[in-house]
Structure 1
Amino acid sequence: MKKEHQSIKGYLYVLQAFLMWGVLAIYWKLLKNIGEWELLSHRVIWSFIILTIYLTVTNNNQFNSIWKNKRNRYSLLTTSLLIGINWGVFIYAVNTDKIVQAGLGYYMTPLVNMFLGITVLKERLTKMKTLALIMVSGSILFLTLKVGEFPYISLLLAFSFGFYGLIKKTTKVDTLPSLAFETTILLPFAITYQAYLWLTNTISSSIFEFPSTLLLIGTGIITIMPLYWFTKGAKIVNLTTVGFFQYLAPTIMLLIGIFIYHEPFKLSHVVSFAIIWLAIAIYVYSLILEKKRHKMNL
């Protein structure tokens, strides 16, 4: 019963994370007058400040122990690089009207998660799950070819976050201290870039406007919360299941890109995304069957 409760808790964490990631494009669009690199540096700085305050107030000293553990230290140095790339590429995609391509990237990410789950963590797929994986792989390949250009944004987002999820799942460090470590590693780069903007007088004038200032401070919150939920959930739910939950975020992004920002959406997109959702339905059905068999064996 306790294990089932933990699983439900894990599903809720993952669900919350992907729902929030799905709508973040709207948030970044509100800051489109600020350059991508400048936004990224603010995201790092405010995330660092908020995390530092929280860990200090709660007297959490696990952050210091990361530096003493060689394996954790190197693992989180790697995740710092991966999440920095992911954040930067996503902000660039949103501000250059490529939300649909960003959505495609996050449709690819679960494939990377499932591949890593199978090859590295030795997770096993049932026949129905394998069928779903093949359907999704085929539809994404078809969609990628139909886009007509090399989907570098999609690939960077997919692989950076896929490997990020794997390393975070296998690193035995609590969520917030590990996030604090990652933002600490990125902080010198963010401060250096901010100093460069001030010295060259190229800083965006928008940051001095009250609404923009509040939104920039909020980038720390919108960065920390979904990552916190994701890493908490990923430690409870197996990586292949996390992969299919992840289709929520790009679907929301896709709808936002089409209906709010009027990005192009062709027939090839319709066909591919229909196949993807059919595959998700098959996967969910397989989970229901597994749960019924488990209850029957109790």
Structure 2
Amino acid sequence: MSSGILYGLSAYVLWGLFPLFFKQLQAAAATEVVLHRMVWSLVFVLIVLAALRRFAWLADVRRNPALLGKFAVSAVLLAANWLTYIWAVNNGHVLDASLGYFILPLVNVALGFVFLHERPRKAQWVAFALAASGVLWMALQTGRMPWIALLLALSFGFYGLMRKVAVLGALEGMSLETMLLAPLALAALLWGNHTGQWPAHDSHTWLFFVLSGPVTAIPLLLFAAGARRVPLSTMGFLQYITPSILALMGVFLYGETFDGPRAVGFVLIWVALALYSAEGLWAGRRAAAAKATEPRAA
């Protein structure tokens, strides 16, 4: 249990610190950064697969075109999420990125209801309504929808939905997604270099391009290790570490404004998350207590 919490905590803290890494790549366009991230992520996961001698699952994938199709969709959603996030970080929208990942758990509730026929409890619906009110408030007061936050939440929410119905382990799933994305990314990089679309970069930028592979994969592997060792409710609480770090960095490190409509919208969403988390904890304890009092078979 304690090691699982440490794995999960490490993953969420690393995800929260991502702006420090991707700010080092401001010399490159967000599209180019994403293309490099695809290629170098594949290089890294292939090294890990080789070290673990874990390639047998590829035979099952080849015999299952439907699974391959689902992972093609999840790969596109993942690429869209990466592109939106990197553009947001490198264009002064770290707070919007934070908002997106605060909204994400409630987006997951809505997607589960629509696509998986899950039935949220009353308090979860109230939390969802509060969060929606926060988003609507910001849209009305600022004159624009928080598109970056919504794109991040929806792209990663649908990505999670696809990963739920297209089951593979964390390492195998990421490996398959990068196997589908990396050839196209490499072709785009080569074409861009040939036509001069991508500028020449110094050694500092190239170092961070290469490091984007392990930086992408390591938190995911830590998350998977943590999720296997601790209850889902515990991981649910830990997930708020990432957007909290992003919000603090956006305000105190990058000087983004946090007042007026944005502050009110954030407060509504934080209240929604507090209600959602408290209700989940209460429901989990009730279920555990009910199970403990069930008569056992002789």
Question: TM-score if structure 1 supplies the norm length?
Answer: 0.84
- The percent identity for this pair of structures is 32
Answer yes or no: is the 8 Å Cα contact 1:113–1:240 preserved in 2. Answer: no
Distance 1:126 1:240 in 2: 15
Answer yes or no: is the 8 Å Cα contact 2:103–2:269 preserved in 1. Answer: no
Q: Which residue of 1 aligns with 2:43?
A: 49
Of residues 26, 37, 41, the one that matches 1:32 is 26
Of residues 91, 94, 98, the one that matches 1:96 is 91
1:59 CA drift (Å): 1.2
Q: Which residue of 1 aligns with 2:207?
A: 214
The alignment partner of 1:30 has SS state of: helix
1:246 CA drift (Å): 4.3
Q: Which residue of 2 aligns with 1:284?
A: 277
Name which of structure 1's ranges 109-118 and 119-128 shifts more when overlaid on structure 2. Answer: 119-128
Q: Provide, for residues 230-253 of structure 1, a one-character-per-residue CA deviation record: whole Å limited to 9, x for no partner.
A: 567778999999777544323322
Distance 1:268 1:98 in 2: 16
1:25 CA drift (Å): 1.4
Distance 1:245 1:144 in 2: 28
Distance 1:16 1:131 in 2: 31
Distance 2:141 2:90 in 1: 23
1:229 CA drift (Å): 4.6
Distance 1:238 1:128 in 2: 21
Of residues 242, 253, 256, the one that matches 2:246 is 253
Q: Which residue of 1 aligns with 2:256?
A: 263
Instruction: Name the Cα RMSD after superposition.
Output: 2.9
Q: Provide, for residues 101-148 of structure 1, a one-character-per-residue CA deviation record: whole Å limited to 9, x for no partner.
A: 222333332232111122323333333333222222211221233332
Amino acid of the structure 2 residue aligned with 1:40 = V
Q: Which residue of 2 aligns with 1:74?
A: 69
Answer yes or no: is the 8 Å Cα contact 2:22–2:89 preserved in 1. Answer: yes
Q: Which residue of 1 aligns with 2:218?
A: 225
Answer yes or no: is the 8 Å Cα contact 2:67–2:166 preserved in 1. Answer: yes
Distance 2:251 2:154 in 1: 24
Name which of structure 1's ranges 232-241 and 72-81 shifts more when overlaid on structure 2. Answer: 232-241
Name which of structure 1's ranges 146-155 and 28-37 shifts more when overlaid on structure 2. Answer: 146-155
Answer yes or no: is the 8 Å Cα contact 2:123–2:276 preserved in 1. Answer: yes
* 2:289 is the counterpart of 1:296: yes
Relative to structure 1, the CA distance from residue 70 to residue 201 in structure 2 (aligned partners, 3 Å threshold; closer, same or farther) is: closer
* 2:192 is the counterpart of 1:197: yes
Distance 2:11 2:138 in 1: 26
Distance 2:152 2:212 in 1: 19
* 2:175 is the counterpart of 1:180: yes
Q: Which residue of 2 aligns with 1:63?
A: 58
1:293 CA drift (Å): 2.4
Q: Provide, for residues 187-212 of structure 1, a one-character-per-residue CA deviation record: whole Å limited to 9, x for no partner.
A: 12211222123223454443x32x43
1:295 CA drift (Å): 4.0
5+ long unaligned stretches in structure 1? none
Q: How does 1:14-29 map to 2 (within 5 A)?
A: 15-29=9-23
Relative to structure 1, the CA distance from residue 41 to residue 79 in structure 2 (aligned partners, 3 Å threshold; closer, same or farther) is: same
The alignment partner of 1:173 has SS state of: coil
Q: Provide, for residues 249-284 of structure 1, a one-character-per-residue CA deviation record: whole Å limited to 9, x for no partner.
A: 233222212211112222222222223222322233
1:78 CA drift (Å): 0.5
Answer yes or no: is the 8 Å Cα contact 1:47–1:221 preserved in 2. Answer: yes
Q: How does 1:115-194 map to 2 (within 5 A)?
A: 115-194=110-189
5+ long unaligned stretches in structure 2? 293-298
Question: TM-score if structure 2 supplies the norm length?
Answer: 0.84
Name which of structure 1's ranges 257-266 and 15-24 shifts more when overlaid on structure 2. Answer: 15-24
Answer yes or no: is the 8 Å Cα contact 2:135–2:145 preserved in 1. Answer: no
